[in-house]
Amino acid sequence: MLIREQVALAPFTTLGVGGPARYFVETHGEAEVIEAVEFTRSRQLPLFVLGGGSNLVVADKGFAGLVLKVAISGSSSFTPPHENVIFTSGAGVNWDTLVAQTVDANCAGLECLSGIPGTVGGIPVQNVGAYGQEVSQTIREVRVLDLQTLEVRTFSNAECGFAYRASIFNTTQRDRYIILQVSFALRRNGKPNVRYADLQKFFASRTGNPTLAEVRAAVREIRHRKAMLIVPGDEDARSAGSFFKNPIMPQSFFEELLARLESRGLQLPGYPANEGFRKVPAAWLVEHAGFTKGYSKGAAGISRRHALAIVNRGGASAADIIALKDEIQAGVLNEFGIELQPEPVLVGF
Ligand code: NAP
């Protein structure tokens, strides 16, 4: 295991900003992960666990501890004597590679999550979801290293405490566990999920149900149009994905706002969330607060293809990105009284 010093972190992120890690190590197995953690203990260093770097903003001054990149590879599948197929993947496996394998095997459950950047280990943390599917619907088990005891243990789905964009890994037990491996139970020959308007529109002119492979291709195409697919050289895709969470608000607040905006000729979109709450697209709030697609502030800007992505137009610093984030948050708060929460993890700030 090679621990390197002063390693630039920007190339390990999709946004491409930020300074170096004091120490950096890539771990390929569970024993190496434990060894790396012991290194931080012996030197009393802070630890940051890196996956695919697709949801990350690293500060310009970098990170003054050890960055541990989990690069545990390997995927396998087995079919128990019932209808599900179990897919198990190392935390370092590229997420979209796993999704492609499950679709090729004609197993349903992850097809709408095609084209999401990042690695398998990052996926359970915020219960990643898109186009009507979220991973909590199919995760069977999550294998982790407990940083309190240095023991490896396995959580069942119920023990992960999944909720909308949340799990124990980003709430009650934040920073306690390193995810090593995840398994999914998928439906063999299952029907694809075509619930969201974007997907329904995509298939509007076709008769008959699309296949899993067609839904996967459609999701990738829709994401590509919104620059939410990582394509080398595509400036609008040089981002950390959605920069703000879609806010969930009490129904009464939503209705008040709806009425206030209707009187200005604006139709606020809202979707059902937990009972008594509504979910509002953050992108709508950002655009209607005056931050249209393509808005620029120095080398940082808003993607020309999706109002929710802050992009590095080339040579941006983390400070540029954060200044734009602050400006958008202040604008949305001033216009709608809603405090947008950033979605990416901020490291070294
Ligand atoms: P979008 O499809 O325009 O959706 C924006 C918002 O409207 C989301 O909150 C979405 O809920 C909600 N929505 C749209 N259609 C809905 C329906 N039929 N029923 C219930 N809620 C509906 O958003 P986008 O920004 O272009 O992103 C595409 C998809 O990727 C969305 O599902 C989005 O949430 C997801 N995404 C997830 C992450 C993440 O997991 N961290 C990051 C980026 C984008 P949902 O959020 O429940 O889908």
Give domain limits for the chain.
3-70, 75-225, 235-347
DSSP for residue 7:
E
Cβ 279 under 6 angstroms from ligand 1: yes
The whole-number average pLDDT for the span 266-283 is 95
Residue of the nearest CA to atom 15 in ligand 1?
A: 196
Cβ 271 under 6 angstroms from ligand 1: yes
Q: What is the pLDDT of residue 193?
A: 85
The answer on pLDDT for 83 being more than 80 is no
Angle between helices 95-104 and 212-225 (to 10 degrees): 150
| Residues 100-152 pLDDT 10s | 999 999 999 999 999 999 999 999 999 999 999 999 999 999 999 999 999 99
Burial (CB < 10 A; 0-12, 13-18, 19+), residue 305, is: middle
Q: Which two tokens stand for residue 237?
A: 């895709």
Q: What is the pLDDT of residue 274?
A: 86
Please give the distance, rounded to the nearest whole angstrom, from the Cα atom of residue 165 to the centre of ligand 1.
11
- The chain-wide mean pLDDT, for the chain, equals 96
Q: What is the pLDDT of residue 207?
A: 84
Residue of the nearest CA to atom 6 in ligand 1?
A: 281
Ligand 1, from 110, 170, 194, 246: best to mutate by most atoms within 8 Å of Cβ?
Answer: 246
Cβ 167 under 6 angstroms from ligand 1: no
Residue of the nearest CA to atom 30 in ligand 1?
A: 130
For 87-120, give the DSSP string.
EEEETTSBHHHHHHHHHHTTEESSGGGTT--SBG
Residue of the nearest CA to atom 13 in ligand 1?
A: 271
Cβ 55 under 6 angstroms from ligand 1: no
Q: What is the pLDDT of residue 150?
A: 96
pLDDT band at 290 (very low <50, low <70, confident <90, very high): very high
Round to whole Å and give the CA distance between 143 and 233.
Answer: 35
| Residues 210-246 pLDDT 10s | 999 999 999 999 999 999 998 888 989 999 999 999 9
pLDDT band at 169 (very low <50, low <70, confident <90, very high): very high
Round to whole Å and give the CA distance between 198 and 124.
Answer: 24
Cβ 226 under 6 angstroms from ligand 1: yes
Closest-CA residue to 147 (of 7, 46, 27): 46
Q: What is the pLDDT of residue 268?
A: 96
Class of the CATH-defined domain 3-70: alpha beta
Round to whole Å and give the CA distance between 13 and 50.
Answer: 9
Burial (CB < 10 A; 0-12, 13-18, 19+), residue 346, is: middle
Class of the CATH-defined domain 235-347: alpha beta
The whole-number average pLDDT for the span 330-337 is 97
The whole-number average pLDDT for the span 154-175 is 97
CATH number of 75-225: 3.30.465.10
